[in-house]
Structure 1
Amino acid sequence: GDGTWPSAGAKAILVNLAKFPKFNGQVVELAEFNEEKQRWKCLLSNGGDVQVFASNIEPVDMFEDRVSEVEKMLEEGQVYEAWRALQSKSRAPQKLKDALRKKYACGMYS
């Protein structure tokens, strides 16, 4: 991708849907943005679609710049902040999760 988010054709995860909680956590494909309704049309894996606000979608993979931010947090000892950042639905790289686990294992909170 060219770094623009969200964009049509991108894979996303549905989040914070109050009306349709069963869709939360589902991976969808962004079809098109409806200017009038200010919603994204998302294609569901079962062939259906839902219209959601941009606040209801998260990228499937964590952005590189976000990954760098979290790595910096870990370097600076902001373990809790880093942990919070990894609680989003976006998939963080395994190396980042491992780094966080290592920090915890060092007994910083014992």
Structure 2
Amino acid sequence: MHAFDILAEAKMRQWEKEKKDGVTKPSANRPALSVESGDSLEKQLFADIKRLIRRSRQEPPQAGRETLKEAERVQVQLSARLEKAGAYHLSRYVADRIRALREGQDE
């Protein structure tokens, strides 16, 4: 099971427990987010980062630097989402995986 799937499962169980205990109430006002692939947004962001890093290696130097900057922006967004969700260890793990990918160690 992928780390993001584990996180999603844990969050869902926590929400169900809070709902059962009356801590959380279902809200009809929450906007529904539809993801065509069925993957979590975090998982999609991580895939985008990997794709951008790999693409940067195939581009000319200037374009490659711009692509890496885009990957950094997406990484900041992903880290913020994970840390906001309290997934500090997962955020650290993802950062380590991305660092290894940038260094060419994780293909």
> Which has a greater percent of strand?
1
Higher helix share: 2
TM-score by length of 1: 0.35
TM-score (norm 2): 0.35
